[in-house]
């Protein structure tokens, strides 16, 4: 199999993950029509000759973020020797799906170096088809065993989605990828209210003015980052549900996908429990 600077050609990569007749994007878009997920194959062994486990990778990220917060950075893997080494091949310890916000550069906030992180960035850390395809490449072809979906405090893209205003240009596509997370968050709140015995309050809900709904969304997240965290969770779930390749790697015990929240005021990264709240990295 031909390999150039650590990359396998597109044709060989598709063969590697068992998709020689269909593109990754096609598989993601048509995931619902695949009747037998077992037909999708993954490499028998990790392509990385010295694989780093998901737990170890997460430990390194936590340690690096602590160094960043304490202004005790090591600036690892940034020497001339490292440049030459990763020019030949790359085996990143983690893949990051993060927001494109200029205040959230993963290599800096995790104190990592060249070739350490496979970073995919898009406004709102949206799990688009292209983003998921990139994550598949990192895991199936480069042997990365940890994916981190990284959102942050006061995300502008999430704020745009909350306003529910008409948006010109391609940013509307990004915002549309965030809105379902806000709807899910509101549904969780509605379900919680139902348990409280407020069924009668549901009458006439459909007649509530859209502007009032938008204001309620804003009120719900003031001071506690609910919208950003809901979006992080939603994008994490979307990755898992919309990639056969990643699903196979998870079931094979060779991949872990986690969620994380970055506080732009303090520089601290907290990892998020999917079914509960935010857990401080210091509890690790």
| Together in a domain, 106 and 211 | no
pLDDT over threshold 90, residue 188 = no
pLDDT over threshold 50, residue 120 = yes
**What is the total count of domains within the chain?**
2
| Together in a domain, 202 and 275 | no
Q: pLDDT digits over 133-159, tens only? A: 999 999 999 999 999 999 999 999 999
pLDDT over threshold 80, residue 90 = yes
| Together in a domain, 261 and 127 | yes
| Together in a domain, 146 and 170 | no
| Together in a domain, 180 and 62 | no
Q: How confident is the model at residue 277 (pLDDT cuts 50, 70, 90)?
A: very low
Return mean pLDDT, the chain: 80
| Together in a domain, 139 and 278 | yes
Contact between residue 115 and residue 91 where contact means Cβ atoms under 8 Å apart: yes
Q: Cα–Cα distances in Å, from 66 out to 94, 113, 250?
A: 17, 16, 28
What's residue 164's pLDDT? Answer: 80
Q: Looking at the domain assignment, is residue 95 inside a domain?
A: yes
Rounded to whole angstroms, the Cα distance separating 172 from 190 reads: 27
Q: With 0-12 CB in 10 A as exposed, 13-18 as middle and 19+ as buried, what is 22? A: middle
| Together in a domain, 184 and 253 | no
Q: Which of 275, 282, 284, 256 is nearest to 95 (CA)?
A: 256
pLDDT over threshold 70, residue 196 = no
Q: How confident is the model at residue 70 (pLDDT cuts 50, 70, 90)?
A: very high
Range of the domain at 186: 156-226
Q: Looking at the domain assignment, is residue 234 inside a domain?
A: no
Q: pLDDT digits over 198-216, tens only? A: 544 444 444 434 444 444 4
pLDDT over threshold 70, residue 128 = yes
Q: Looking at the domain assignment, is residue 25 inside a domain?
A: yes
Share of residues in the chain with pLDDT > 90 (%):
64
Q: With 0-12 CB in 10 A as exposed, 13-18 as middle and 19+ as buried, what is 241? A: exposed
| Together in a domain, 148 and 272 | yes
Q: What are phi and psi of 259, to 5 degrees?
A: -115, 150
What's residue 283's pLDDT? Answer: 47
Greater pLDDT, 109 or 202:
109
Q: Looking at the domain assignment, is residue 102 inside a domain?
A: yes
What's residue 175's pLDDT? Answer: 96
| Together in a domain, 143 and 164 | no
Q: What is the mean pLDDT of residues 85-91?
A: 97
Position of tokens 């695949």?
A: 34
Greater pLDDT, 225 or 276:
225
Q: pLDDT digits over 13-64, tens only? A: 545 554 433 344 444 444 443 445 556 788 999 999 999 999 999 999 999 9
């Amino acid at each position: 199999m031909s390999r150039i600077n650590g990359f396998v050609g597109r044709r060989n990569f598709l063969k590697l993950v068992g998709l020689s007749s269909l593109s990754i994007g096609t598989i993601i878009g048509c995931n619902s029509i695949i009747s037998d997920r077992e037909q999708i194959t993954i490499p028998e062994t990790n392509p990385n000759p010295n694989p780093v486990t998901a737990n170890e990778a997460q430990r390194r990220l936590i340690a690096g973020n602590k160094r960043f917060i304490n202004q005790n950075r090591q600036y690892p893997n940034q020497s001339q020797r490292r440049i030459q080494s990763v020019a030949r091949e790359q085996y990143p310890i983690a893949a990051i799906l993060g927001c494109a916000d200029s205040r959230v550069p993963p290599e800096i906030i995790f104190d990592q170096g060249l070739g350490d992180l496979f970073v995919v960035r898009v406004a709102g850390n949206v799990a688009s088809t292209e983003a998921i395809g990139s994550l598949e490449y990192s895991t199936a072809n480069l042997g990365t065993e940890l994916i981190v979906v990284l959102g942050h405090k006061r995300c502008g893209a999430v704020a745009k989605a909350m306003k529910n205003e008409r948006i010109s240009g391609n940013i509307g596509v990004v915002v549309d990828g965030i809105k379902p997370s806000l709807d899910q968050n509101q549904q969780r709140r509605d379900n919680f209210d139902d348990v409280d015995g407020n069924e009668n309050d549901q009458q006439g809900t459909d007649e509530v003015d859209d502007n009032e709904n938008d204001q309620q969304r804003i009120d719900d997240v003031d001071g506690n980052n609910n919208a950003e965290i809901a979006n992080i969770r939603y994008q994490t779930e979307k990755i898992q549900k919309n990639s056969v390749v990643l699903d196979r790697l998870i079931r094979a015990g060779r991949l872990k996908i986690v969620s994380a929240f970055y506080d732009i005021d303090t520089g601290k990264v907290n990892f998020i429990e999917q079914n509960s709240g935010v857990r401080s990295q210091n509890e690790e």
